[in-house]
């Protein structure tokens, strides 16, 4: 059978001089602790520390990268075990689901999904056999055997991955009970929450008004008024910070910001509660609330993250049957220069404010985002995200952003994943790509080797810790 063990020089340059330099740089970062300041791992996983489910439940059904590729080539989501909203029967045999992935493994050639999965299969589960229709059952059996062992429980893998800090993402309505359970346990893993208020900010979401009413119930504030609504949001931010949060996250369709006066903002809010908000009203309210959240960040110190530019649930049929996060979200062109100006003019020079901006529109890196981050003290660039969280996306990011923003107006790497077993693989990919980029600068005599070494460690470890204000335990 073909050996699927990852090559030790994967993602390093083919030029022998640069490859040697990349290896040397990688030697300084490969075993540094993982800083995971933003992601979507379910905290219940680590609170309960129960065995993972079967291989299909762990690696196929929840992975929208896998689902979208298979769906694009005619594999029905029902046949992949994805639960339907209407109770329509779906495949419930995990081995059959795994076989479907294996039969279509060729579809993932050259994709980051294959890179992450193969590295996770090898380094987490010691799988050396290449996945195919012929080897599907063999690999499945090996995974199933591993998942039954204590060494593969979630907390054991957390420790094995050398995760120093993992941030999850929760709604303001979440009780954070799982985070409290983790803190009250005898396990020392550092798992914190992130405040994500989209469901009580975006009027175009189903159930927005009900969510706002629930926010009032949770906080005891009168969220039928705009002033009470703002008070409730600040109350929950304080609650999240007391439970370990160091950041907020905002997943808006655009990067638009506005700085409205109180009466105008209240008018938009009341229109939403009365069911009279059109798309323009909803966008104006979202834009204003980003500026309000920036004001709150200046006061409470929470780092503000903005993830705009996705037209979510593009496939109406898939959304109707299966709901959100099924691989049907599509990147859109995104304006940042005009969109962020109201917020940055008010808070972009404030030393107490940090805004981390991500994009799905790579054309904005050199034209808009790098120049903005290269000027405003409060603004930093997040790493390549989602569709561009890939070797080529990371290379393009460094090439397009470094000349204007440098390395130190970026935040290093975060994995932004739900797929817990792939976390270590994603960080390893980023470290290898950054070492390859730095190796080229050294080979071209644009950077000294000692400076490249320091930069590699900063990108992999120090910058995310510094940006997200994570306490230093190692002194690295």
How confident is the model at residue 448, as a pLDDT? 98
How confident is the model at residue 66, as a pLDDT? 95
HSE of 18 in the Cβ direction (CA atoms, 13 Å)? 20
**What average pLDDT score do residues 458-473 get?**
90
Q: Is the pLDDT of residue 273 over 50?
A: yes
Alpha-carbon distance of 197 to 214, in angstroms, equals: 13
pLDDT per residue as tens digits for the range 125-136: 999 999 999 999
Q: Quick check: is 23 in a domain?
A: no
Alpha-carbon distance of 30 to 476, in angstroms, equals: 14
**What average pLDDT score do residues 91-99 get?**
97
**What average pLDDT score do residues 129-154 get?**
97
Alpha-carbon distance of 41 to 420, in angstroms, equals: 6
**What average pLDDT score do residues 250-264 get?**
97
**What average pLDDT score do residues 342-348 get?**
98
Q: Is the pLDDT of residue 473 over 60?
A: no
Same domain, 174 and 127: no
Alpha-carbon distance of 215 to 213, in angstroms, equals: 5
**What average pLDDT score do residues 344-360 get?**
98
User: Binning pLDDT at 50, 70 and 90, where does residue 279 land?
Assistant: very high
- Picking from 124, 152, 180, the residue at the C-terminal end of a domain is 152
- Picking from 107, 130, 152, the residue at the C-terminal end of a domain is 152
User: Binning pLDDT at 50, 70 and 90, where does residue 472 land?
Assistant: low
Same domain, 279 and 306: yes
Q: Quick check: is 344 in a domain?
A: yes
Same domain, 124 and 188: no
Same domain, 124 and 224: no
How confident is the model at residue 87, as a pLDDT? 85
Of 57, 56, 49, give the one whose Cα is nearest residue 151.
49
Same domain, 351 and 443: yes
Q: Quick check: is 12 in a domain?
A: no
**What average pLDDT score do residues 154-173 get?**
98
**What average pLDDT score do residues 399-425 get?**
95
User: Binning pLDDT at 50, 70 and 90, where does residue 4 land?
Assistant: confident
Same domain, 354 and 419: yes
Say if residues 123 and 153 touch (Cβ distance below 8 Å).
Answer: no
Residue 17 contacts by C-beta under 8 Å, 6 or more apart in sequence? 443
The mean-pLDDT minimum among 62-66, 123-127, 302-306 falls in: 62-66
Alpha-carbon distance of 194 to 304, in angstroms, equals: 10
Q: Is the pLDDT of residue 412 over 60?
A: yes
Alpha-carbon distance of 127 to 229, in angstroms, equals: 52
How confident is the model at residue 1, as a pLDDT? 62
Q: Quick check: is 40 in a domain?
A: no
Average pLDDT over all residues of the chain: 96
Q: Quick check: is 238 in a domain?
A: yes
Same domain, 113 and 167: no
Residue 29 contacts by C-beta under 8 Å, 6 or more apart in sequence? 431, 435, 456, 457, 460, 461
CA distances from 352 to 74, 291, 349, 405 (A): 50, 15, 9, 20
Element (H, E) at 466: helix 463-467
Check which CATH number belongs to the domain holding 145 and give it.
1.10.2020.10
Check which CATH number belongs to the domain holding 203 and give it.
3.20.20.140
For the chain, the domain total comes to 2
pLDDT per residue as tens digits for the range 216-235: 999 999 999 999 999 999 99
Q: Quick check: is 226 in a domain?
A: yes
How confident is the model at residue 298, as a pLDDT? 98
Q: Which long-range contacts (CB under 8 A, 24 or more apart) does 113-117 make?
A: 113/63, 113/65, 113/66, 113/69, 115/10, 115/391, 115/425, 115/429, 116/419, 116/422, 116/425, 116/426, 116/429, 117/59, 117/66, 117/422
Q: Quick check: is 146 in a domain?
A: yes
How confident is the model at residue 409, as a pLDDT? 98
Alpha-carbon distance of 218 to 233, in angstroms, equals: 11
Q: Is the pLDDT of residue 170 over 90?
A: yes
Same domain, 144 and 225: no
Q: Is the pLDDT of residue 259 over 50?
A: yes
Q: Quick check: is 43 in a domain?
A: no
What domain range includes position 265? 162-467
HEC per residue, 201-224: CCCCCCCHHHHHHHHHHHHCCCCC
Same domain, 276 and 202: yes
pLDDT per residue as tens digits for the range 21-52: 999 999 999 999 999 999 999 999 999 999 99
- Picking from 125, 152, 179, the residue at the C-terminal end of a domain is 152
Alpha-helical segments (H) within 126-274: 136-147, 154-160, 177-184, 208-219, 226-242, 262-273
CA distances from 211 to 5, 199, 287, 402 (A): 48, 7, 19, 41
């Amino acid at each position: 059978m073909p050996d699927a063990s990852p090559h030790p020089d994967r993602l390093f340059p083919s030029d022998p001089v640069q490859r040697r330099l990349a290896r040397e740089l990688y030697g300084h970062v490969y075993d540094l602790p993982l800083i995971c300041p933003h992601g979507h791992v379910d905290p219940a996983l680590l609170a309960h520390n129960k065995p993972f489910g079967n291989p299909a439940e762990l690696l196929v059904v929840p992975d929208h990268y896998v689902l979208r590729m298979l769906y694009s080539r005619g594999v029905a989501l029902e046949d992949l075990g994805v639960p339907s909203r209407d109770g329509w029967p779906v495949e419930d045999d995990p081995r059959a689901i795994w076989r479907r992935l294996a039969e279509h493994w060729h579809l993932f050639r050259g994709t980051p999904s294959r890179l992450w999965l193969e590295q996770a299969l090898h380094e987490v589960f010691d799988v050396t056999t290449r996945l195919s229709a012929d080897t599907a059952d063999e690999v499945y059996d090996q995974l199933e055997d591993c998942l039954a062992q204590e060494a593969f429980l979630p907390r054991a893998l957390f420790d094995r991955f050398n995760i120093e800090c993992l941030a999850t993402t929760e709604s303001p309505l979440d009780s954070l009970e799982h985070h409290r359970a983790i803190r009250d346990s005898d396990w020392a893993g550092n798992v914190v929450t992130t405040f994500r208020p989209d469901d009580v900010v975006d009027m175009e979401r189903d159930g927005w008004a009900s969510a706002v009413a629930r926010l009032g119930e949770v906080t005891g504030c009168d969220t039928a008024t705009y002033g009470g609504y703002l008070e409730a949001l600040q109350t929950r931010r304080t609650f999240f910070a007391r439970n370990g949060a160091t950041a907020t996250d905002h997943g808006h369709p655009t990067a638009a910001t506005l700085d409205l006066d109180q009466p105008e903002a209240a008018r938009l809010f009341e229109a939403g509660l009365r069911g009279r908000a059109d798309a323009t009203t909803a966008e104006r309210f979202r834009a204003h609330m980003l500026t309000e959240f920036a004001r709150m960040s200046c006061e409470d110190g929470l780092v503000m993250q903005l993830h705009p530019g996705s037209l979510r649930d593009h496939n109406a049929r898939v959304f109707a049957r299966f709901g959100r996060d099924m691989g049907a979200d599509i990147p859109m062109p995104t304006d940042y220069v005009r969109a962020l100006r109201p917020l940055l003019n008010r808070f972009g020079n404030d030393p107490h404010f940090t805004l981390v901006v991500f994009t799905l529109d790579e054309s904005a890196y050199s034209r808009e985002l790098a120049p903005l981050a290269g000027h405003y003290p409060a603004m930093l660039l997040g790493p390549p995200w989602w569709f561009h969280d890939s070797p080529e996306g990371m290379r393009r990011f460094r090439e397009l952003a470094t000349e204007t923003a440098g390395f130190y107006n970026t935040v290093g790497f975060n994995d932004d994943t739900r797929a817990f077993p792939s976390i270590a693989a994603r960080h390893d990919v980023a470290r290898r790509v950054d070492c390859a980029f730095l190796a080229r600068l050294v080979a071209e005599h644009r950077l000294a080797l000692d400076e490249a070494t320091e930069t590699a460690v900063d990108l992999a470890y120090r910058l995310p810790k510094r940006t997200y204000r994570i306490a230093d335990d190692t002194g690295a």
